[in-house]
Structure 1
Amino acid sequence: MAFFEHHGIEENEYFQVLKLYHSHFPLHFHRAYEIILVKQGEMLLTVDQQEFSVGEKEAAFIFPNQMHAITASPGADIEIVIFSPELIGHFFMNYKGMIPKNNLFSFPEVSGLAAVHSVYGQKAFLYHCCDKLVKETKFTEVKYSPKTKVIHQMLLFVDAHFQEECSLKAAAAELQYDYVYLSKLFLQMTNRTFTEYLNHYRISQACYQLKNTQKTVGEIAEASGYNNLRSFHRNFKRMMHCAPGDYRS
């Protein structure tokens, strides 16, 4: 899939360029680095509970395991580059255990990024971004709180179980935490309920499949965790302001 936690695990040198096709990208994290380029329009970026307004010709550099979410303006042109730490091994080793104080940096001048197939071209672009980030911000040691670690576990639970019966009660049982505690913690850390997050996660999965597969809407609904097609259509229209078929076309 486009954006979930397994990124950067499968391959030693992993590099993928994606278009942001929908306005909201749910909270997530992964082992891979991520660079978000705003070519046109603007977006609201949340990183580890900090909010950044990112305008045209600006970019963001997300480090491994940083929780982040995107809300893009209508018509925004946004590209996302996801890549494994091994592609920038020197930078990764020098800044291992560190995160930027400010994830934003000036937009690198690039064109035809999706057509960069050579590993040398990929590394040239990535190290250019590393250079800009190092010049424009300072770094701090990673210190994830116990609460953040619990949220990481909950997000991993959703990623593993969103295609089936997925509930906060089941998460509490698997993670061995009190249901009420998890409910309050999730709302506090993400500003939405577990159910709201799950629905956004499922609809984001559906959006990706509508744009990148030939599956029917019914097949996509089922693959996204909806047993009831009517519920899928209702949630999709509420979040995307259009029907799945219209979104695909």
Structure 2
Amino acid sequence: MVFFQTHGLTGPTTFLYHHVNDLQFPLHFHVAYECILVHEGMISVDMNDTTYNVSKEQLIFIHSHQVHRITSEHHSKVTIVLFSTDFISDFDQQYKERLATSPVISYSALPKIEKLQTVYHQKAFLYDVLSRLISQTNFIEKKATMNTTLLHDLLLYVDNHYDKDCSLKRAATILDYDYTYVSQAFKQMTSLSFTDYLNQYRVSQAINKLTHSELTISEISRQCGYETLRTFNRNFLKYTNMTASDYRKQYTAS
């Protein structure tokens, strides 16, 4: 099992992509828009109270700030593309307050993202995606309820505080909510306790650092908010079924 979370965009006009195997990630959102292309296997994406199954040679389009969860029941090989709103400014202006009801797009053969080496090729790919999306789906207005706003705020709190002392009680105080209500609402919306979610998120960030930096495991443990290496190791093994050292070796070998 692999958790993955790409980090924030580096500039106003940014196009990032990552190839990932066996993608798993709990509820989260991006400021950027996102496309996930499935090359092998199948992933499930939960968003808008709906589960979308995305199979080989399919792509799913995810709106900016759209809360979603990704799971791979078996092996999967995907490419994640994150891009800033500047790439599709006309679409963003017209549809930023609306959501696609059928965001999964089928291809006879998915584009090879690594070959999109100029901004013109990248925009051509994105506008082709949007053309296909608009021709096949309806769009509905975003509905912001108190619970969805609360969830958005809590996920943002974790993103900003996972690397330090991070607790639901502190989040409830900062957000001016009753702790008991927040605890029950979070469990209802995510099917996870706040502690479970926080540990999954921390492990996902640790994986990113293991595979994209030369930091030691002890340094990564501290940067992901763990006070002791023992606690980090226990949680890493729990969510990935391997040690951090073995995970790094496996990634390097591949």
Report the TM-score, using the length of structure 2 for normalisation: 0.91
Q: Match of 1:148?
A: 148
* Greater CA drift, 41-50 or 192-201: 41-50
Q: How far apart in 2 are the matches of 1:166 and 1:104?
A: 35
Asked if residue 3 in structure 1 is aligned to residue 10 in structure 2, the reply is no
Matches within 5 A, 1:92-241: 92-107=92-107, 109-241=109-241
Contact kept? 1:210, 1:248, Cα under 8 Å: yes
Alpha-carbon distance, 1:106 to partner = 1.2
Residues 86 and 71 of structure 1: CA distance in aligned 2, closer, same or farther (over 3 Å):
same
Q: Partner amino acid for 1:3?
A: T
Q: Match of 1:246?
A: 246
Residues 163 and 131 of structure 1: CA distance in aligned 2, closer, same or farther (over 3 Å):
same
Contact kept? 1:108, 1:129, Cα under 8 Å: no
Alpha-carbon distance, 1:185 to partner = 0.5
Alpha-carbon distance, 1:182 to partner = 0.3
User: Residues 39-66 of structure 1: CA distance to partner in whole angstroms, max 9, x if unpaired?
Assistant: 1011121113321222111111000111
RMSD between superposed Cα atoms in Å:
1.7
3-state SS of 1:42 partner: strand
Q: Match of 2:252?
A: none
User: Residues 170-203 of structure 1: CA distance to partner in whole angstroms, max 9, x if unpaired?
Assistant: 1011111000000010011111111110000000
User: Residues 222-242 of structure 1: CA distance to partner in whole angstroms, max 9, x if unpaired?
Assistant: 111111111111111111011
* Greater CA drift, 181-190 or 89-98: 89-98
**Count, aligned residues:** 246
Q: How far apart in 2 are the matches of 1:40 and 1:67?
A: 24
Alpha-carbon distance, 1:110 to partner = 4.0
Unmatched 5+ stretches in structure 2: 250-254
Alpha-carbon distance, 1:105 to partner = 1.4
User: Residues 45-104 of structure 1: CA distance to partner in whole angstroms, max 9, x if unpaired?
Assistant: 111332122211111100011101111244311110000111011222222311101221
Residues 120 and 109 of structure 1: CA distance in aligned 2, closer, same or farther (over 3 Å):
farther
3-state SS of 1:134 partner: helix
Residues 14 and 111 of structure 1: CA distance in aligned 2, closer, same or farther (over 3 Å):
same
Q: How far apart in 2 are the matches of 1:198 and 1:81?
A: 24
Alpha-carbon distance, 1:135 to partner = 1.7
Contact kept? 1:23, 1:74, Cα under 8 Å: no
Contact kept? 1:21, 1:207, Cα under 8 Å: no
Q: How far apart in 2 are the matches of 1:23 and 1:224?
A: 20
Q: How far apart in 2 are the matches of 1:183 and 1:38?
A: 35
Q: How far apart in 1 are the matches of 2:21 and 2:245?
A: 14
Q: How far apart in 1 are the matches of 2:231 and 2:23?
A: 20
Contact kept? 2:22, 2:76, Cα under 8 Å: no
Q: Partner amino acid for 2:125?
A: F
Q: Partner amino acid for 2:212?
A: N
Unmatched 5+ stretches in structure 1: none
Q: Match of 2:53?
A: 53
Contact kept? 2:21, 2:75, Cα under 8 Å: no
Report the TM-score, using the length of structure 1 for normalisation: 0.93
Contact kept? 1:19, 1:80, Cα under 8 Å: yes
* Greater CA drift, 14-23 or 222-231: 14-23
Q: How far apart in 2 are the matches of 1:107 and 1:177?
A: 45
